A and B are shown apart, each in its own frame.
Chain A
Amino acid sequence: KNEVEQSPQNLTAQEGEFITINCSYSVGISALHWLQQHPGGGIVSLFMLSSGKKKHGRLIATINIQEKHSSLHITASHPRDSAVYICAVGNYGGSQGNLIFGKGTKLSVKP
Chain B
Amino acid sequence: DGGITQSPKYLFRKEGQNVTLSCEQNLNHDAMYWYRQDPGQGLRLIYYSQIVNDFQKGDIAEGYSVSREKKESFPLTVTSAQKNPTAFYLCASSIKGAIPGANVLTFGAGSRLTVL
Contacts and interface: CB of A to CB of B under 8 A. Distances in A.
Interface of A: 2, 4, 29-31, 33, 35, 40-45, 48, 50, 86, 88-92, 94-104
Nearest to B4: A42
Sorting the interface of chain B by its residue count into under 10, 10 to 19, 20 to 34 or 35 or more gives 20 to 34
A45 B104 contact: yes
Contacts, number: 90
A98 B45 contact: yes
Interface of B: 31, 33, 40-45, 48, 50, 56, 58-59, 88, 90, 92, 96, 99-110, 112
B104 to A, nearest CB: 5
Contacts of B110: 41-43
9 contacts: A30-B99, A42-B110, A45-B107, A48-B102, A91-B101, A92-B100, A95-B56, A96-B100, A97-B33
